[in-house]
A and B are shown apart, each in its own frame.
Chain A
Amino acid sequence: MAKPTTAVRQTKKDEEPALKGTLASVFLLGFFIIFAWVSVYFLFLHRL
Chain B
Amino acid sequence: MPAHERLTAAIVTANDDNRPALVPFITAGYPEPGEFINTLRAIAEVGDVIELGIPFSDPMADGMTIQRSSYVALQEGVSLEWIFGELEMAGVLGTPLVMMSYLNPLLAFGYERLAERARATGVCAFIVPDLPYEECEELRQALEKEGLGLIQLVTPATPRERLKMLCDASRGFVYAVTITGITGGDAGLPDDLADYLDDVASVAEIPVCAGFGIRGPDDVANVARHAAGAIVGSALVEVLEEGRDPKAFLRTLGGK
Please indicate whether A and B come from the same complex rather than being unrelated chains.
no
Which A residues are within 8 Å of any B CB, using their own CB?
Answer: none
Which B residues are within 8 Å of any A CB, using their own CB?
Answer: none
